[in-house]
Amino acid sequence: MKAYIFPGQGSQFSGMGKDLVAKYPEAQKLFNQADEILGFKLSSIMFEGSDEDLKQTNVTQPAIFLHSVAIARVAQNFNPDCVAGHSLGEFSALVANGTLSFEEGLKLVYKRALAMQKACELAPSTMAAVLALADDKVEEICRNITEGIVVAANYNCPGQLVISGELKAVEIACEQLKAAGAKRALILPVGGGFHSPLMEPARVELESAINAAVFNNPSCPVYQNVTAKAETEISQIKKNLIAQLTAPVKWTQSVSQMAQDGTTEFVECGPGKVLQGLVKKIAPESITSSVEI
């Protein structure tokens, strides 16, 4: 079985999509459509913007979504047995398997980006990568921090877990995690505490947008971040997509489940190769690749 997987925020780069558009008229059409839907020239920022321009959440999220969906659209023999995406990448995955139209997906991603940005402005918050410490130990330390909210947010692969929460609480957690034996506990250059209870205002905003959007029956299952299980029911897909903003990204568990269910090949669609590296650490026997463009 073959899975197509889609990256999340952090994989953007200056010039992204330029070669794609030059080579494929279908990609050009999607980029033009995105500019029209959003009401600003996202394509120009992607092609010519600086790394700093691309770091803005309201640009990063639609840019990665657009790039990922365009790659899936031009991929030869694109016929996945299942799909999955890391955080934001779940929206790309849902367009790839037909659950969402490109237009609906892009509108939801932009709404999500703006809502998350707004939530980040309410309280100083951040995320930190924790390396080489058992997940249950990280969870225990986060639970016992009394100076504010801090939770496990991204289960990326064995030995790599990202925590998220209020700035002070994350800083204290980092010190305690290093004292407990973590190889590193490093604050990340992100806009705020994603996938934590601090995103509740964004979740509420996104909930109404998701409930108003048109969802179709998927062509294949999507393994969602919240449950790490194969989902095909529209009502469950919606529920998980809404919960995703405040719940942890169970990427380790998702890939493990996909492998258990018979997936042997993982093809990354989008900028970068981060997910391939994570998959290799979770399911070492699997075959990983990127879409050739």
CA-based angle 112:270:26, to the nearest 5? 95
Token pair belonging to 90? 């779940």
Q: Which of 86, 125, 164, 195 is catalytic?
A: 195
Is residue 43 part of the annotated active site? The answer reads no
Q: Which helix (H) or strand (E) holds 212?
A: helix 200-212
Rounded to an integer, what distance in angstroms lies between the CA atom of residue 157 and that of residue 253? 9
d(CA 215, CA 114): 21
What residue has token string 């981060």? 274
CB 105 within 8 A of CB 27: no
Annotation says 195 is catalytic = yes
Nearest to 30 by CA among 82, 90, 92, 79: 92
- Of 68, 87, 125, 196, the catalytic one is 87
Secondary structure of residue 251 in the 3-state scheme: helix
The residues assigned a catalytic role are 87, 195
